[in-house]
Amino acid sequence: MTPTSNPNAVVVDANILISICSKEQDTYPIADAAFKNYAKNGWEFFAPGIIVAESLFALCNKLQDGTLTQKEYDQAVDFYS
C-alpha cells in the first residue's frame, strides 16, 4: 500500500462501520457524526481489506445473540451494499 501524501486521512475501524450499519443506540450518533465530519472536511478514508468480513461476522453475532432482530440485521447488511 502506498502511503498517502494527503495528511487528512483516517483509517476506518470495523467497530465504526458496525455501529453505523446497525445503528447501535449508544455509539451510532458519535460514529455517524465523526464519519460525516471527516467526509465534509475532505478527509480520505482507508480501511483494511478484512473490514467487510469482520463487520459481517460481528453483525451475524449480533443477530444470533438477539442484539439485532432479523429486520435490523437485514437492514444493516443492505446498508453495506
Question: Does pTM surpass 0.85?
Answer: no
pLDDT tens digits, one per residue of 32-67:
999 999 999 999 999 999 999 999 999 999 999 999
pLDDT tens digits, one per residue of 10-23:
999 999 999 999 99
What are the helix (H) ranges across the chain? 14-22, 28-40, 51-64, 70-80
Please give the Cα distance from 59 to 42 (Å, whole number).
Answer: 29
